[in-house]
Structure 1
């Protein structure tokens, strides 16, 4: 039987300070989907359920009927790994979503792979490891860099700078590619974290996160 992977998308559709549409970023799901499809069984969820807003809605019809995240909680034991898709949306809803935080902590306690790409590593900022310390404390981690945020001219519109917060909570263990937009994937398996923690920096890292997730699942 194929491993089951829970994919989580944002439900947040608007950048508050600008009113411009946002959501999850299609390539950051499409590229891992290409890697994972046919090898794992994917279930797609979002905080609100139903249609999860995408920055490219005309190309994302496959993901219009997501499960409500809270409905997944009783079924968490069915899944072998969890993967969070990036885009700016997660910065506004999934960072502090208590259902999401609880799910991540459940997966970590069960020593199952937890993964995220681009802005989605924001979901780990408020999570705890089984030891009780911050999940990413002392752990190598990556995510969308401050330089990249500056280059897309959205730094002022973000609730916080992801690189800055990941670096602070990890204790200076944030890493990134030598140049903006370069591929960077981190796989942290340090004892005490629970399951493997897989993070990718940006869209160029999305396929690599999918490949690392397959490896973590023994595929």
Structure 2
């Protein structure tokens, strides 16, 4: 049987603009799903809006320096994020993949939220019945996507992502252009959550979302289960 294939979209945005704080994508939110899925021989293609090196949030490296999965990923898989392909090259190619996946980090709040090519990818994958998955701030990439009838893709869906309480806890509420939880609710989704920084993964049809870094492993397992059929 041919291996399953996942298209991963990373942010190209490297800072939180208002406070000029280095940011990007968040290490464990890619590392843990990658470990779960690569152990099942899933193949990965990694893209970003600009292509080339996708910025890794340095704070996530520091905070997860005691996490063996994140450390191993950082040391051994750099080619995945240092040589990303331009995501626009993959529009029209949903048939080549089994799932589309958006790791988080604060970067997506600034670029992927309204990236036209990314939105086209999401709409294409979803309409083709493929898995569309996101974790933490990665969920923001989904809010402007539409269903075939023109309604928001997330309308009426159960969805999770980084919560207002979690943003407040990391003291970045005022530095954000908007809050993820607010935007998800604004498009008519049923935003669900557990306690701050607890593990929460929600599966609604082919849509799979995780709340935060603690949810990354279970999110990977949910993607693996969904594409195994």
Shorter-chain TM-score category? Answer: over 0.9
Q: What are the superposed Cα offsets for residues 72-130 of structure 1, whole Å, 9 maximum, x if unpaired?
A: 22433211110001000000000000000000000011000000000010011100112
Using the alignment, how far apart are the partners of 2:87 and 2:170 within structure 1? Answer: 30
Corresponding residue for 1:88? 106
Corresponding residue for 1:42? 44
Give me the TM-score of the superposition, normalised by structure 2.
0.88
Residue pairs, 1:64-79, within 5 angstroms: 64-79=82-97
The structure with more helix, counted as a fraction of residues:
2
Corresponding residue for 1:53? 55
Corresponding residue for 1:5? 6
Corresponding residue for 2:16? 15
Q: In the TM superposition, what is the alpha-carbon distance from 1:170 to its structure 2 partner? A: 2.5
Using the alignment, how far apart are the partners of 1:197 and 1:147 within structure 2? Answer: 23
Q: In the TM superposition, what is the alpha-carbon distance from 1:20 to its structure 2 partner? A: 1.1
Corresponding residue for 2:225? 215
Corresponding residue for 1:145? 163
Q: In the TM superposition, what is the alpha-carbon distance from 1:51 to its structure 2 partner? A: 0.2
Q: What are the superposed Cα offsets for residues 165-185 of structure 1, whole Å, 9 maximum, x if unpaired?
A: 1122134x10001x1000000
Instruction: Give the RMSD, CA atoms, in angstroms.
Output: 1.4
Using the alignment, how far apart are the partners of 1:71 and 1:121 within structure 2? Answer: 22
Q: Look up the SS of the partner of 2:165 in the other structure.
A: helix
Using the alignment, how far apart are the partners of 2:10 and 2:99 within structure 1? Answer: 15
Contact residue 140 and residue 170 of structure 1 kept, 8 A: no
Q: What are the superposed Cα offsets for residues 55-76 of structure 1, whole Å, 9 maximum, x if unpaired?
A: 1397362320001111122433
Using the alignment, how far apart are the partners of 1:55 and 1:68 within structure 2? Answer: 20
Residue 202 (structure 1) aligned with residue 212 (structure 2)? yes
Q: Look up the SS of the partner of 2:18 in the other structure.
A: coil
Q: Look up the SS of the partner of 2:100 in the other structure.
A: strand
The ranges of structure 1 where at least 4 consecutive aligned residues each deviate by more than 2 angstroms after the TM superposition are 56-62, 74-77
Give me the TM-score of the superposition, normalised by structure 1.
0.92
Q: What are the superposed Cα offsets for residues 128-181 of structure 1, whole Å, 9 maximum, x if unpaired?
A: 11232110101100000001000111111111111111122134x10001x100
